[in-house]
Amino acid sequence: MKSCTCLAPVALLLAATALFSVPLHAQQMDWVLVDADRNDREIPVDLRFDAEAQAARPLVVIGHGFAMTSGDYDDLSAELVAAGFTVALVDTESGLAPSHADFGLDMAFVAAHAAEEVGGDLEGLISDVSALVGHSMGGGAAWLGAAEMGESLGAVVGWAPAETTPSALAAATDIAAPTLVISGTADAITPQATQHLPLFDALSPATCRAFASLEEGGHCGFADSGTLCDLGEFGFSGMSRAIQQFHTAALTIAWLQHHLLGAPEAWSDFEAHGEAEAAVSLDITCSTLSLAEEGATMNARCFPNPVRETLFLDLPSSTASATVHSSDGRIMAHWNPTSTPRIDVATWPAGVYFLTLEGHRQRQTLRFIKTP
């Protein structure tokens, strides 16, 4: 039995309600990408984005469940946009005889090519860092797409992922990206024991992976209310949809912010959610230390922050290398910091940057802001 500090039911419901706040500048656009390598296959995409974002944002590609559409995931899409991502909901294979193979390839194509295809007023909206997220059938398709993309993909998240044809189970061994599975113990449509856990266990031991089990969580609670999915779960009396989406948003966002943005606090938030919430059990298998643990071992700092021209570094002698990434994943600098205790950032675009320091069995990520 896991000991925890739990929110009272009313407080938790209020937290869940507050979580779903659509950003003031969130917009939606229908978009079609064309895959020339598959006979000019058209891939309709429901794009959700922050119209006033100051920099390109990582892309989160979402695959829907069986006989569902992109419009069935408005709530969680809004949360992802508010958390700093651009969201692309793939709107293919929504009929009663879907091709899982095509759906997985569609998701992979959008993740790999959206940044280069977007143009006009939306140019610069999407960075070249991406993740695949899928619900049920879309979760299995995310496994298929992730296996195709290899190390070019930033992360994978499966919400109650389901086995597919061809087999997502077989594809799991080829997934290199960090992978999170979120599963409800009361899911009767794709049961945890026969669907979610096997897809998780089949992942390569070298893959950073986590399994989040939601006590009394269902199958359709990942989608909005009133969808076709609800018919298959008629009479469900487990975890409420609001609470299930509260946990799903918190875990998904922290996972993606850590792996796509390098946000220093995100991994701690991810682990803390599993510790603090009685309904959430986390099984994490990653070879790397959490950012909180890494930071405690090096005690490095950078200043001034925010910075306009020169960033100074105060580093321990064990520091062997330093790398700066922009918020869209670009490497801005990489060097041996023992010979360069400062960085000239005067010509860099304004925005958020992440400085990653590595030493012997140590790693720390610092966040700094470059001002105009």
- Which domains are seen in the chain, by residue range? 9-285 (3.40.50.1820), 291-370 (2.60.40.3080)
**Residue 22: pLDDT over 80:** no
What pLDDT, on a 0 to 100 scale, did the predictor assign at position 356?
Answer: 80
What pLDDT, on a 0 to 100 scale, did the predictor assign at position 19?
Answer: 47
**Residue 32 tokens, joined:** 């079609």
Q: Percent helix, strand, coil in the chain (nearest 5)?
A: 35, 30, 35
What pLDDT, on a 0 to 100 scale, did the predictor assign at position 362?
Answer: 66
What confidence tens digit (pLDDT) does each residue in 202-247 have? 998 878 899 999 999 999 999 999 899 999 999 999 999 999 999 9
CA 7 vs CA 3, 12, 286: distances in Å: 13, 5, 28
State pTM to two decimals. 0.75
Residue 298 confidence class, pLDDT cut points 50, 70, 90:
low
What pLDDT, on a 0 to 100 scale, did the predictor assign at position 3?
Answer: 33
CB 144 within 8 A of CB 168: yes
Residue 5 confidence class, pLDDT cut points 50, 70, 90:
very low
R_g of the chain computed on alpha carbons: 21
**CB-side exposure of 17: number of CA atoms within 13 Å?**
6
What pLDDT, on a 0 to 100 scale, did the predictor assign at position 318?
Answer: 73
Residue 9 confidence class, pLDDT cut points 50, 70, 90:
very low
What pLDDT, on a 0 to 100 scale, did the predictor assign at position 245?
Answer: 96
**Residue 10: pLDDT over 80:** no
What confidence tens digit (pLDDT) does each residue in 282-294 have? 999 885 444 344 4
